[in-house]
Amino acid sequence: MADVLRVENLKKLFPVRRGVLQRVAGHVRAVDGVSFSIAAGETLCLVGESGCGKSTVGKTILRLQEPTAGQIWLGDTEVTRLDEEQMRVHRRQVQMVFQDPYSSLNPRMRAGEIIAEPLENFGIAEGAEKDRQVLALLEKVGLRKDAAQRFPFEFSGGQRQRLGIARALALNPRLIVADEPVSALDVSVQAQVLNLLMDLQEEFGLSYLFVSHDLAVVEHIGHRIAVMYLGRIVELAPRDRIFAQPQHPYTEALMAAAPIADPRARSARLVIEGDVPSPMNPPPGCHFHTRCPYAEARCKVEDPPLQEIAPGHVVACHLRTPAKLASAALA
């Protein structure tokens, strides 16, 4: 089965301007050579610290921000080469659910109008058929039909996010980019929205690029997990494997830092010291070596490539090459 989305060596640099003449003094390397794919019906989760570039990846895929370099394929179409008019056609295939369910909705429009807007913009339905589809979408996301006449401020946070999901579904997309869609919600509501997303995925065969910093959330919804650090993917693996056997030191530290809902449980915690380096001036070699407790001399000068250490499990670390893992297993 062909991939719904394929990203190859994606880069996004933001110019930094200084002085009276606002000359470019450097670039922030927000996304620095990211590659991955998403199959039909799959959820790929992007996780990492704030500022690692995961949200920028999502916005660049939709071309809400233009990529600096790299290729983005939606099915068999390379969307990085499309002009504005051509891109409009392909935007029907990929939609976004934003982090803040209030600011992403027009406060002057009723819920029914918000959902109907993409149907009207793309000429999908009008009149009675448009109204029928709007009511069906409201019902599909767990909202009553009379919600169509209410404004966004009349909904709770969870209901507003359901409304945002209904708007994203209106165009029957193949891929939805969900940027921290439950981080602003209460824990009980988070579970409801996550279960809704999973039910919709099963019903419509949707693919998700799910951006989050919450490991408990991605463990619940993800099929594969990609861990980002300073603009790069440092580890990518199936969910069960990455939670059971994290290989990159940064992934290991993220897992160890996650809270455990058992006061009797004890876990060895890998302590990461120091601050995240500036993406404007990342360190040479492995970007993580300045904070890695296992760093060797090689890590400071040589950038580790992503290597497959097990089927579907890739990691960018000099300490986790296939040869070293094989020798450790024999020892």
Structure confidence by residue, pLDDT tens digits, 26-37:
899 999 999 999
Which pLDDT score, from 0 to 100, does residue 325 have? Answer: 66
- Tell me which residue has tokens 């009008």: 126
260-282 pLDDT per residue, tens: 666 666 655 666 777 888 888 89
At position 59, the amino acid (one-letter code) is K
Taking the domains of the chain in order of start, what are their residue ranges? 5-103+175-186+203-330
| H/E segment holding residue 243 | helix 239-244
Q: Check residue 265 and give its pLDDT.
A: 60
Distance CA 147, CA 139 (A): 10
What would the CATH number be for the domain defined by 5-103+175-186+203-330? 3.40.50.300
Q: Which residues pair with 31 in a beta bridge?
A: 12
Euclidean distance between CA atoms 244 and 256, whole angstroms: 11
Q: Which residue stretches of the chain have pLDDT < 70?
A: 1, 259-271, 323-331
Burial class (CB in 10 A: 0-12, 13-18, 19+), 158: buried
| pLDDT at res. 264 | 66
Q: What is the per-residue pLDDT for 114?
A: 96
